[in-house]
A and B are shown apart, each in its own frame.
Chain A
Amino acid sequence: MHIPDGFLSAPVALGAFALSGAAGAFAARRIHEDFDERRAPLLGVTAAFVFAAQMINFPVAAGTSGHAMGAAFASIVLGPYPAFMVMAVVLALQALMFADGGVTALGANLLNMGVVCLVLYPLFAAARAPRSRGALLAASAVYAWLTVVAAAILCAVELWLSGVVPLSAALPAMAGVHAIIGAGEAVITAAAVSLTLAARPGLVNTATPVEEGA
């Protein structure tokens, strides 16, 4: 759910820009410090990948279909900081090219879909610590689910703070619906990680070193 222009009050929009901007500055510094220049084009194509992956849909029930959002998957395969950069690029492109998500809401959308992945990443890293395939897939699924639900909760709170929706109704409804949507994201993410792990084990663990030799 990309928040359009107009829905957020000025203080909420500005506050979200401040938080996302701070996260962006921090991520940029971390990328600059430990990111191999060989991978610079990878960020760009991964952003294009996030767009393309959203086309791959699957029927859920009664004519509705789900699709991947990809933010959690990007964090798992690229590491949290490069993935944040990827999401910033995806959201900027959507806001400027597709009128999907507002220009003034860019900070809030990046907070919901980028900063959330960054903040929850340590949980994922801790959960997959046993380094077994099972632990990794379970951690990926839970992480993906959490990012979707947390994004929905933040979105509800932002709209409430802006005086557009009542929190008492919006919070449980948004969280409830996204608990279901998040389940789809969890399965897709775990299946995608599983396939990536089988083909190129080194890719999944780039944020914490696992030797591949490449």
Chain B
Amino acid sequence: MSLWEFERHARGASLIHRVDARVKLTALLFFILMVTSLSGAGWTMALYAALPLLATGAARVPLRIVILRALAVIPFAAMAGLFLPFIPPAYGDTLIPLGPFTVSGAGLARFAEVTSKALVCALCVATFSVMTPFSATLDALRRFGAPPAFVLTLSLAYRYLFTLREEAARMIRARDARGYAGRGLAAAMVAGGMVGALFLRTHERGERIYQAMAARGFTGAASSMPSAPLQAADWVFLTLSAAGIALIRIAAL
């Protein structure tokens, strides 16, 4: 899945896409706090997973997109999973055979808990980002009082992410087109040279962007459109999502 495909979906026009980003960001944070505060995995986790999936369906975004993105947590979880056989069993613990190893039951339960939390939260983040244009997220952060310099930097990072990735891809193609097949130290040095060259271009671009801003009267403060006040639909979304998230959490007590 390409970054562009994701970005294209983020500019969709469904009802959920049009909900104010401040509302969606609030719901996302509430969701993550409630999920991470659960103890133990189980049916509540499945219910929580259903919420972002429902939203994805309602926004008519292919499920594949959010699921693929949520799988970003798998490498980290796999790394943590490698240490399972080394967790010393607690008193009265059940020992579970796992291939050639024996694994502490308590350790395995804890691992399942944190991994499922990570997956469910990542699913919700992916759902949020595929249903919110990034410009709206930036505006929400600004409205929530994030420092203007931070928001400006974040906005430029996002804007030039696309441009610089293309630039890096062109450099990689140019390297590989010349039959490059280095390995080890020599390859790392070539890669380092490319990183340096990319930075030089980045730096020059930064200087030109400053000139382009200054030429239009940049004073050091970021500016953007003031957001509209929350609409009825925003309040409905906020109420429904908060109620859903809270009900599942209460049921799990």
A128 within 8 A of partner (CB): no
B220 within 8 A of partner (CB): yes
Known contacts A5-B117, A165-B87; A59/B183 CB under 8 A: yes
Known contacts A48-B161, A60-B184, A97-B134; A73/B154 CB under 8 A: no
The answer to whether B191 touches A68 (Cβ under 8 A) is yes
The answer to whether B147 touches A51 (Cβ under 8 A) is no
Complex CA gap A71/B93 in Å reads 42
A108 within 8 A of partner (CB): no
Q: Which residues of B contact A40 (CB under 8 A)?
A: 149, 152-153, 210, 220
Known contacts A7-B114, A61-B184, A165-B87; A39/B210 CB under 8 A: yes
A window 30-84: CB within 8 A of B = 31, 37-49, 51-53, 55-61, 66-68, 70, 73, 77
CB distance from B76 to the nearest CB of A (A): 6
Complex CA gap A162/B117 in Å reads 14
Complex CA gap A189/B195 in Å reads 8
Known contacts A169-B86, A203-B203; A51/B114 CB under 8 A: no
B58 within 8 A of partner (CB): no
1/0 per residue, CB under 8 A from A, across B72-93: the answer is 1100110110110011100000
CB distance from A36 to the nearest CB of B (A): 10
List the one stretch of B32-40, B223-231, B232-240 in contact with chain A: B32-40
The answer to whether B157 touches A6 (Cβ under 8 A) is no
Complex CA gap A173/B207 in Å reads 43
B241 within 8 A of partner (CB): no
Contact of A42 (CB < 8 Å), options: B155, B200, B203: B203
B residues adjacent to A (C-beta < 8 A): 28-29, 32-33, 35-37, 69-70, 72-73, 76-77, 79-80, 82-83, 86-88, 110-111, 113-118, 120-123, 125-126, 128-129, 134, 137, 147, 149-150, 152-161, 163-165, 167-169, 171-172, 182-185, 187-200, 202-203, 205-207, 209-210, 213, 220
Closest 8 CB pairs of A and B: A44-B156, A191-B192, A6-B117, A195-B196, A5-B121, A169-B86, A42-B206, A47-B157
Given contacts A60-B187, A77-B199, A90-B157, 6 further A-B contacts (CB under 8 A): A4-B73, A67-B191, A68-B195, A89-B157, A163-B110, A194-B193
28 A-B pairs in the complex with CB atoms less than 8 angstroms apart: A5-B32, A5-B35, A7-B76, A37-B220, A41-B206, A45-B157, A45-B205, A45-B206, A47-B156, A52-B164, A53-B195, A55-B168, A56-B194, A58-B190, A59-B182, A61-B183, A68-B191, A86-B153, A89-B154, A99-B69, A103-B29, A103-B121, A170-B83, A173-B82, A187-B185, A188-B191, A191-B192, A192-B195
